[in-house]
Structure 1
């Protein structure tokens, strides 16, 4: 659901003054709209389509489950790094050219993902895919709004909302179906014809669209320290479990590099006249409290989206497509309620609306904390469906709160900064939660086996029954049962903590102070 956030930043903001591009109309409005929307669908789809296929990908490429998570995190981190560059690139190259070439590059990167013959190649291709995807949504948003007359922009925004809600629902189901019936490579290959088609259509339809270009100064020091710091930190999180954390020289070096680079980044960005990431925005109370709430809640939400499909396949033996069917109901209520939330939420105290969202999310986490290995499909899907209520009430109110006390000229930068740290939060959470799940599974496996004695007649009888007379086979099956139970206990513990985290987030929302109406002039900023 990662990119619905960028769209919701527009909900409720009346259009402000725009350049002459507003008067431009493409030769075929329907075709231009389909092209822009299809690119958005493709990009958002790729955030979730690989989730249910991770176990299959790991098995085919000879990688561990921990290494397979890099397929998700590499995309998210590089996507986050590219986001702050969107404004620079649109001013330098123009929105039409940037969108056209980013979409084409996304298709090429998808082709490389499908052709990858090792986990390292796949992770590198996904990182490239995530980077070129960075500008796609904000620019798609700006382009779509610019080609519609003011009285129809609400319809354009609603269309984009539907696309960004439907794509994450379709992702797990489509990914599971493709993986089961063809091969995991095709979850990436399907982007190639779509990306090329969209690039050609949008490039042709928007030819002649007026754009004001300039040569903005690039904050190279800020960008370099950002890439080094975030990259080192993510690699540290991904390798930590395999390398025994700070007992490893490599992890220590990565930690030092990350701390030094990020410290330099923060100091430089606070003193640079034209920073790549404007950290000074955190001086605003609502922006600071709203952004913290957004990052923590999205990190927990992203963790749920990653852990549940993995758990369904690793612990319950679901196929990828059935894992997709079980998780898909999370999108039903957002599809139905998102337009209503956009229209009516501002009539209420948005802190209360956000609190209801986080309570709903917390309740679903506590429900999952009570799951066991015998839980049925209907129960899993029902909890997913109920979580959709929290998703529907989450994004728009929180984003409206965090943008509410920014100055008009700061809204675009604030929107980009919030999206940037939110994406990083999701990426880091993916690494930390999968590590914690495996760690707790190992701990509980040790606890469950410490009282088992091989000479115990009851244990010998159990091993004999399981192995049907073959003690070695019986011992292997018993160990597998214990491992499954240990991972289930670890899963329950993590969801208990995630539920508590959602409740803690409510406190940050209430640090904000009304009014929560964003300045209208900032609405025209688009994806810059």
Structure 2
């Protein structure tokens, strides 16, 4: 399935180019949907009459569903064929995008986002596999480079497109814009890619492993999402969910290690280079995504930014990352990738420390500078990481290792979103109480009273200032924790042995 047969000769150069552009576009759409909803959460929450905390379920439900589906991709492709799976996933993605846009309740939009995530999961690895089958070896590097650019461009464009649509049209359109792209991809897959379909064979599926995977991830994510509203472990429901998630996780590990055809091949963790690499990836993506979730909400709810301008601040990271991609690829051939990754991750930690000093008086460019400088580090950690992790496993384990890498990255994003918003909310309450206990507002009240404000107006004015300052202090605390995690991740890179030889990264999703 990696493109070892001469399947590329079945298409003309023009057909190959069209198919390649369509595959890159499909990947862009799926990656875009991971971040496009972030800046729109306040709009969606206001429209559906829910809290911004509940609105974040729209982000986590998509990420968790995608994480659950990724391990199934290899089995689906072998059972039904790569082109059929890709086409079916695009059809499902289009249908659930339409239903997300038509949603009128929180339950409906979360259910449809789960459907979107389940269908979106296979699209990224399937598009990569098809690129390897469509293009001859000498053109694959260039096409995979274009494909990788869409993976970086998606998170950049998501906040801007989502913000612009939410401000000028309606949040429903952040989902409706997927429909024409999905339609073009379905047509192109049917018309162009049928000749490069893979052979199929009946394979046993590990239903018990799949059920356990869905069970423990589901329990964990529900616990993280509703814990904030239920006072965490003071509520018996949260305790039960935590115990069930823990037991489910342990049973899942035991089952997968003893199953002949596991749904997730956990044996790849015996390679130290792979384990240190993917845990570094999980920590980095978790810390990185913390800012993608928290910054747009703070800018809109506390700083008076529109969704569009909040999107611009968030997007600068991915924009500068695009500029650094060619340099990262060049340096990889000359320098030990562990050095590149360690410096890049530590650099991201320094940027997090910079953001930990933001205040409510920060202007637009003060907010943008750490975002801009962080972007230069992103390709130097993302691109070498694939080489480091996949060079640590046997060639026969590459597909399983790549699937696990993507699974852990997606789970890190989902868990990070819940944990960060919890820490932010708790930090706001603590900061507010501390400020309220030491506040000497007598002089301020006298001045405001002299300017003609009533006692109630004065109370609300002071309360809003305290709330705004508590929000930014709590956010700075989250960034400080992110900095520590990133420095730990930078050190973890060195647990991996130096990668040797060339790696076939075609299975990396």
**TM-score between both structures, scaled by the size of structure 2:** 0.96
Question: Once the 2 structures are TM-superposed, how far is the Cα of residue 519 of structure 1 from its aligned partner?
Answer: 4.2
Matched with 1:150 is 137
Matched with 2:475 is 491
Structure 1, 75-84 or 39-48: larger mean CA deviation: 39-48
Matched with 2:7 is 21
Compared CA separation, residues 107 and 449, structure 1 to 2 (3 A): same
Matched with 1:469 is 453
Compared CA separation, residues 465 and 94, structure 1 to 2 (3 A): farther
Question: Once the 2 structures are TM-superposed, how far is the Cα of residue 215 of structure 1 from its aligned partner?
Answer: 0.9
Matched with 2:181 is 194
Q: What are the superposed Cα offsets for residues 378-417 of structure 1, whole Å, 9 maximum, x if unpaired?
A: 1211211101012121111222111112111011110101
User: 1:103-502, aligned counterparts within 5 Å?
Assistant: 103-452=90-439, 457-461=442-446, 464=449, 468-502=452-486
Compared CA separation, residues 19 and 465, structure 1 to 2 (3 A): farther
Partner Cα distance (2:126, 2:3) in 1: 17
Question: Once the 2 structures are TM-superposed, how far is the Cα of residue 525 of structure 1 from its aligned partner?
Answer: 4.4
Aligned residues of 1:113 and 1:122 also touching (Cα < 8 A)? yes
Question: Once the 2 structures are TM-superposed, how far is the Cα of residue 465 of structure 1 from its aligned partner?
Answer: 6.0
| Structure 2 unmatched ranges of 5 or more | none
Partner Cα distance (1:16, 1:115) in 2: 39
Partner Cα distance (2:378, 2:397) in 1: 27
**TM-score between both structures, scaled by the size of structure 1:** 0.93
Compared CA separation, residues 217 and 22, structure 1 to 2 (3 A): farther
Compared CA separation, residues 171 and 519, structure 1 to 2 (3 A): closer
Question: Once the 2 structures are TM-superposed, how far is the Cα of residue 29 of structure 1 from its aligned partner?
Answer: 2.5
Compared CA separation, residues 432 and 526, structure 1 to 2 (3 A): closer
Structure 1, 119-128 or 432-441: larger mean CA deviation: 119-128
Q: What are the superposed Cα offsets for residues 475-507 of structure 1, whole Å, 9 maximum, x if unpaired?
A: 112111101101111111111111111111112
Partner Cα distance (2:379, 2:419) in 1: 26
Question: Once the 2 structures are TM-superposed, how far is the Cα of residue 462 of structure 1 from its aligned partner?
Answer: 5.0
| Structure 1 unmatched ranges of 5 or more | 1-14
SS of aligned partner of 2:495? coil
Question: Once the 2 structures are TM-superposed, how far is the Cα of residue 518 of structure 1 from its aligned partner?
Answer: 4.8
User: 1:96-107, aligned counterparts within 5 Å?
Assistant: 96-107=83-94
User: 1:63-82, aligned counterparts within 5 Å?
Assistant: 63-82=50-69
Q: What are the superposed Cα offsets for residues 99-150 of structure 1, whole Å, 9 maximum, x if unpaired?
A: 1110111111111111111112111111110110000010001112211111
Q: How many residues align?
A: 508
Question: Once the 2 structures are TM-superposed, how far is the Cα of residue 343 of structure 1 from its aligned partner?
Answer: 3.5
Aligned residues of 1:142 and 1:526 also touching (Cα < 8 A)? no
Matched with 2:493 is 509
Compared CA separation, residues 488 and 146, structure 1 to 2 (3 A): same
Aligned residues of 1:50 and 1:187 also touching (Cα < 8 A)? yes
Question: Once the 2 structures are TM-superposed, how far is the Cα of residue 377 of structure 1 from its aligned partner?
Answer: 0.5
Q: What are the superposed Cα offsets for residues 210-250 of structure 1, whole Å, 9 maximum, x if unpaired?
A: 42100111011110000010011000001111001111121
Aligned residues of 2:219 and 2:241 also touching (Cα < 8 A)? yes
Q: What are the superposed Cα offsets for residues 288-334 of structure 1, whole Å, 9 maximum, x if unpaired?
A: 11111111111111111111111211221100001111222112222
Matched with 1:3 is none
CA RMSD of aligned residues (A): 1.8
Q: What are the superposed Cα offsets for residues 136-175 of structure 1, whole Å, 9 maximum, x if unpaired?
A: 0100011122111111112211211222222221111111
